[in-house]
């Protein structure tokens, strides 16, 4: 290995890290808490049985593109489908960022910066404003010069707050045709908002969607971009041919034909999110932040100790206290009602144990 000269950008970049833990209640990755209903799962499996596994799938999944386009009243030739929205983030960086700039905020979804560094683009990260607000004025200044691709998660992650459409329009106008503006709507279903009007008005705007959250298909790894047809052509050039399998497409098509299942899942998640926010806000020494996603960010006195205590009680949440501006913060995904109850019970037990230990230390 010492004799092999690899790109400095790769060698200097830490690998994407995720530490898995075994826990009875898993609330750390913003997944859907339940798998597909049995009847829908059988429908998907029947589709899989009808597939010819010995044949290549479509070069690009035209059938899925048509279905996604119909879902959003968007032209099918303006839809790019990939094995997860992460892949489309990489594609956008390839077509608009290499040799140029990637602009985003900090903290946000780490893959934006990871792909910028990996592909050798100039990375510009603007800190979030007070209350995790989008730093629109500062981003406008960035986009008024240079060229490249800008990423904004809307709703924002990992903070969960909404983004005002007017702020995104300011960014699109500032960047003009020199910047591709990628609006990542991974959690859009839970906020009951999209940015369709913006994308129709500005051809340089690309909307990203995923089937990992509201659709409950994180294991299937599928995402799609809604873009101007001329932009979608360029995005597809950066996607490897035949990269979406016929098996992935079959499962996705089955779920797309059951919109009521997705709507019910979203409704339950939103109701549980609001219940969890109210419950946490009633606890002592907890700061709960507004969320329109399927997770809640909160600040506690000792994030490491709380995370460890919850895990000891079989509940796994996500530490965020290593991120800028998120000292003391944990993120909890919205689970099924019983899982959320288990989290609250474990959280109270940790708080009680901590208070008892502090009393002994003071004695």
pLDDT, residue 3, reads 54
Q: Give CATH for domain 54-258.
A: 3.40.640.10
Question: CA 331 to CA 158: how far, in whole Å?
Answer: 8
Pick the CATH number of 18-33+260-362 from 3.40.50.10420, 3.40.50.300, 3.40.50.10090, 3.90.1150.10: 3.90.1150.10
pLDDT of residue 195: 96
Tokens 């200097």 — which residue? 12
**Where residue 144 falls among pLDDT bands split at 50, 70, 90?**
very high
Three-class DSSP labels, 45-93: HHHHHHCCCCCCCCCCCHHHHHHHHHHHCCCHHHEEEECCHHHHHHHHH
CA dihedral over 328, 334, 337, 342, signed as positive or negative: negative
pLDDT (tens digit, 9 = 90+) per residue, 321-346?
Answer: 999 999 999 999 999 999 999 999 99
Q: What's residue 285's pLDDT?
A: 92
H helices, E strands: number in the chain? 14, 13
- Give, as one character, the DSSP assignment of residue 272: H
| Predicted TM-score (pTM) of this structure | 0.94
Phi-psi region of 338 (alpha: psi -120 to 50; beta: other; left: phi over 0): alpha
Residue 124 has pLDDT above 80, yes or no: yes
Spatial distance between the Cα atoms of 89 and 250, rounded to a whole number of angstroms: 24
220-235 pLDDT per residue, tens: 999 999 999 999 999 9
Which residues 6+ apart lie within 8 Å of 188 measured at CB? 154, 155, 194, 209
CB 181 within 8 A of CB 150: yes
Query: What angle, rounded to 10 degrees, do the helices at 38-50 and 246-256 form?
Result: 140
Q: How confident is the model at residue 357 (pLDDT cuts 50, 70, 90)?
A: confident
Q: What angle do CA 342, 343, 344 make, to 5 degrees?
A: 95
The two domains 18-33+260-362 and 54-258 share their CATH topology (first three levels equal): no
Domain locations in the chain? 18-33+260-362, 54-258
For residue 49, is pLDDT > 60? yes
């Amino acid at each position: 290995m010492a004799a092999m000269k690899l790109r400095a950008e790769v060698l200097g970049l830490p690998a994407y890290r995720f530490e898995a833990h075994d826990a009875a209640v898993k609330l750390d990755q913003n997944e859907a808490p339940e798998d597909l209903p049995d009847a829908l799962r059988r429908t998907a499996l029947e589709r899989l049985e009808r597939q010819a596994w010995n044949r290549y799938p479509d070069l690009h999944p035209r059938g899925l593109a048509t279905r996604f386009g119909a879902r959003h009243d968007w032209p099918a030739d303006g839809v790019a489908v990939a094995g997860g929205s992460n892949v489309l983030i990489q594609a956008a960086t390839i077509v608009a960022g290499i040799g140029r700039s990637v602009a985003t905020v900090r903290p946000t979804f780490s893959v934006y910066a990871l792909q910028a560094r990996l592909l050798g683009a100039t990375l510009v990260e603007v800190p979030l404003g007070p209350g995790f607000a989008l730093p629109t004025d500062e981003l406008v200044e960035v986009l008024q010069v240079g060229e490249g691709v800008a990423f904004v998660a809307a709703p924002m992650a990992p903070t969960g707050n909404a983004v005002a459409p007017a702020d995104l329009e300011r960014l699109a106008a500032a960047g003009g045709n020199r910047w591709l503006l990628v609006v990542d709507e991974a959690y859009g279903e839970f906020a009951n908002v999209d940015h369709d009007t913006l994308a129709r008005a500005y051809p340089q705007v690309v909307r990203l969607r995923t089937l990992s959250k509201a659709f409950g298909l994180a294991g299937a790894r599928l995402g799609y971009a809604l873009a101007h047809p001329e932009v979608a052509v360029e995005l597809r050039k950066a996607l490897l041919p035949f990269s979406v399998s016929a098996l992935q497409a079959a499962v996705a098509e089955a779920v797309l034909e059951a919109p009521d299942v997705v709507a019910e899942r979203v409704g339950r998640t939103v109701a549980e999110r609001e219940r969890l926010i109210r419950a946490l806000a009633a606890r002592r020494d907890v700061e709960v932040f507004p969320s329109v996603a399927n997770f809640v960010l909160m600040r506690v006195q000792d994030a490491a100790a709380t995370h460890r205590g919850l895990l000891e009680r079989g509940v796994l949440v996500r530490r965020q206290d290593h991120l800028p501006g998120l000292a003391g913060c944990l993120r909890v995904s919205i689970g099924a009602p019983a899982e959320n109850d288990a989290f609250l019970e474990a959280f109270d037990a940790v708080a009680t144990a901590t208070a008892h230990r502090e009393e002994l230390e003071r004695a």
